[in-house]
């Protein structure tokens, strides 16, 4: 069982709840025959389970919608609300959309690595996974001018990924859904020693992927769930100890005109609270490290 937040722990400005807005940028880095892959990306709103090795042009354009229209809508709402975000970016996606890399940088937001491409690394060797991480790291540094300090894989990764992240100089790892507060992991470095790595838990239950999963949420349902999650965590934070909330978004999902309003409503609900700290994940990790020893 993870350690609870220390009794006297508070986020900056006395806040008890830290809110992390996470925008996933995967579009252009997904699997596809057009990319030279053997299969097409099966997660979409058009064609699923297609086994024929042919291009699915409609699906490709569905992902591209996230870059063309979804990203500008999300950026506009973040700017209007005046709040920061962490962008979990597949490096190849930013290589293909340098304007978005510039927009993230201009806002002072955090680019967090989501790997070089939107691929599973669990079937790679440790060496290949480490090279995959390093390639993404170098690419994000080139497109944004910043080396990422956080990492989110596409769920399936090897048992050794945290050792590779430590070796690459990462501050935190977010492939974890076990808590509502950060914690330290002591990573086995393979030579008998251990090194600390911050684990910054993420969340899938409030993620906008619930629009795609069965049974799927409507925008009203998603907004209600996000607000109730926020309210409950804030209540716990004020009476039981500090908490953290993650809200995951995708350009091609929440960025649709029939859904984007729900994100606007959520931002309006939380943006002016003085008892909540809306922050980049790197800042959450840094503050946690300053208050809790590994």
Contact 219, 262 (CB under 8 A): yes
CA distances for 124 relative to 20, 130, 151, angstroms: 30, 9, 17
Specify the range with the lowest mean pLDDT, choosing from 20-29, 158-167, 235-244, 266-275.
158-167
Domains of the chain by residue range = 12-291
Given this model, what pLDDT does residue 46 score?
61
Mean pLDDT of the chain: 91
> What separation, in Å, do the N-terminal and C-terminal C-alpha atoms of the chain show?
16
Given this model, what pLDDT does residue 52 score?
65
Which helix (H) or strand (E) covers residue 19, if one does? Answer: strand 17-25
Helices marked H in 44-159: 57-65, 71-81, 91-96, 98-107, 126-144
Give the separation between CA 60 and CA 79, rounded to whole angstroms.
28
pLDDT 10s digits, 99-153: 999 999 999 999 999 999 888 777 878 888 899 999 999 999 999 999 999 999 8
% of the chain at pLDDT higher than 70:
96
Helix H, strand E, coil C: the string for 150-197 is EECCCCCCCCCHHHHHHHCCCCEECCCCCCCCCEEEEEECCCCCEEEE
Q: Model pTM?
A: 0.94
How far, in whole angstroms, is CA 244 from its chain's centroid?
14
pLDDT 10s digits, 215-260: 789 999 999 999 999 999 999 999 999 999 999 999 999 999 999 9
How far, in whole angstroms, is CA 191 from its chain's centroid?
31
**CATH number for the segment(s) 12-291:** 3.20.20.370
pLDDT 10s digits, 47-80: 655 666 778 777 778 889 999 999 999 999 999 9
Give the separation between CA 203 and CA 232, rounded to whole angstroms.
15
């Amino acid at each position: 069982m993870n350690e609870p937040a220390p009794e006297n722990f508070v986020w900056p400005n006395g806040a008890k709840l830290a809110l992390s807005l996470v925008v996933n940028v995967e579009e252009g880095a997904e699997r596809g025959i057009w990319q030279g892959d053997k299969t097409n990306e099966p997660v979409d709103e058009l064609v699923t389970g297609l086994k024929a090795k042919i291009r699915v042009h409609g699906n490709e354009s569905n992902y591209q919608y996230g870059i063309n229209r979804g990203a500008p809508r999300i950026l506009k709402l973040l700017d209007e609300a005046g709040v920061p975000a962490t962008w979990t970016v597949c490096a190849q996606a930013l290589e293909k959309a340098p304007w978005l890399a510039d927009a993230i940088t201009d806002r002072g937001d955090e680019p967090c690595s989501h790997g070089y491409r939107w691929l599973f690394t669990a079937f790679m060797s440790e060496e290949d996974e480490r090279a995959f991480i390093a390639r993404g790291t170098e690419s994000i540094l080139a497109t944004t001018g910043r080396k990422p300090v956080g990492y989110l894989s596409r769920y399936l990764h090897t048992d050794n990924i945290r050792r590779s992240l430590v070796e690459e100089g990462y501050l935190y790892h977010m492939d974890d859904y076990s808590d509502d507060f950060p914690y330290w992991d002591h990573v086995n470095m393979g030579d008998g020693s251990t090194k600390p790595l911050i684990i910054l838990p993420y969340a899938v239950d409030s993620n906008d992927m619930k629009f795609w999963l069965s049974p799927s949420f409507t925008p009203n349902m998603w907004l209600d769930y996000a607000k109730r999650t926020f309210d409950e965590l804030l209540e716990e934070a004020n009476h039981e100890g500090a908490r953290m909330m993650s809200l995951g978004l995708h350009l091609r999902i929440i960025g649709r005109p029939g859904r984007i309003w729900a994100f606007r409503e959520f931002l309006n609900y939380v943006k002016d609270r003085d008892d909540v700290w809306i922050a980049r994940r790197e800042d959450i990790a840094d503050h946690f490290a300053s208050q809790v020893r590994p």
